[in-house]
């Protein structure tokens, strides 16, 4: 285990091998650690995605979690997923043309229209008071998953030179995350939502929303003030989608 310090930014704890950086963040949080700190796993053996799905990290890819404590109510704290998505978008734009980068609701960064990253936010009651928040971020730097349920890609696909090593990419990500966190803190979620919308994939296009108990089809109109997706149904009604999977064509 190595701790890397970047002046003025939360420290990065580099772990040679870990089951899951989010699981490690949970263990630390429940033991009374409040952060803020980043955990970077160079080898992750039991990564997880949204809804308990397996997340295949792959050698040379980024697996990291940001742990912090907040007094925000849960619904407001969850907006950090949009902060994370913007930070990943900025990180990607440091290594590939920015025109290839987009964001799909709720928190899928895309590269060339294909999934290149996943974000998983978890939380719980902190022994220090308030909530602990773990923002898990996986990015396909060197290779795409072998068994992806949807088409995926990697940074390496769009570069002639080798992709960044995780220890390099995490420094870029930490800086970008800090910048967007300050926007969130100083200007509120509307500023974050506007920036996310400017990078959004599929707005104004037909899409399918799978919500677990039902499947809806309509047109994605944009974000509500709390980050919910506004879906215009075929009959003209608007449904607020707060959780689920949204598909635009192949993505």
User: Which tokens sit at 65?
Assistant: 């979690």
Residue-wise pLDDT tens for the chain (251 aa)? Answer: 656 665 689 999 999 999 999 999 999 999 999 999 999 999 988 766 554 455 556 789 999 999 999 999 999 999 999 999 999 999 999 999 999 999 999 889 999 999 999 999 999 999 999 999 999 999 999 998 766 667 899 999 999 999 999 999 999 999 999 999 999 999 999 999 999 999 999 888 998 999 888 899 999 999 998 899 999 998 999 999 988 888 887 55
> How far is residue 10's CA from residue 17's CA, in Å, rounded to a whole number?
21
Cis peptide before 25 (omega within 30 of 0): no
Whether 126 and 148 have beta carbons less than 8 Å apart is answered as no
**Taking the model in full, what pTM does it have?**
0.91
Sorted by where each starts, the structural domains of the chain and their CATH numbers stand as 2-198 (3.30.930.10), 206-247 (2.30.30.100)
Give the alpha-carbon dihedral of 114, 89, 198, 153, to 10 degrees: -10
> How far is residue 117's CA from residue 175's CA, in Å, rounded to a whole number?
18
- Decide: helix, strand or coil at residue 114: strand
Whether 232 and 238 have beta carbons less than 8 Å apart is answered as yes
């Amino acid at each position: 285990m190595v701790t890397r310090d970047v002046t003025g930014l939360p420290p990065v704890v580099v772990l040679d091998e870990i089951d899951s950086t989010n699981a490690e963040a949970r263990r630390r949080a429940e033991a009374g650690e409040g952060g803020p700190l980043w955990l970077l796993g160079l080898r992750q053996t039991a990564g997880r995605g949204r809804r308990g799905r397996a997340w295949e990290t792959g050698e040379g890819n980024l697996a990291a979690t940001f742990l912090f404590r907040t007094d925000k109510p849960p619904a407001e704290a969850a907006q950090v997923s949009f902060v994370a998505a913007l930070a990943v978008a900025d990180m990607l734009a440091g290594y590939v043309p920015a025109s290839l980068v987009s964001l799909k609701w709720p928190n899928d960064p895309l590269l060339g229209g294909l999934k290149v990253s996943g974000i998983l936010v978890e939380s719980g009651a902190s022994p220090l008071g308030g909530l602990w928040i773990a923002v898990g971020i996986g990015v396909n730097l060197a290779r795409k998953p072998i068994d992806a349920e949807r088409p995926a890609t990697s940074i390496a696909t769009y570069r002639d030179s080798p992709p960044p090593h995780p220890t390099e990419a995490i420094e870029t990500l930490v800086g970008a995350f800090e910048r967007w966190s300050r926007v969130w803190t100083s200007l509120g979620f509307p500023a974050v939502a506007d920036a996310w919308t400017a990078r959004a994939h599929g707005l104004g296009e037909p899409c399918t929303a799978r919500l677990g108990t039902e499947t809806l089809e309509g047109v994605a109109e944009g974000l509500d003030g709390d980050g919910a997706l506004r879906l215009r149904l075929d009959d003209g009604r608007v449904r607020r989608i707060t959780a689920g999977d949204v598909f635009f064509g192949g993505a």
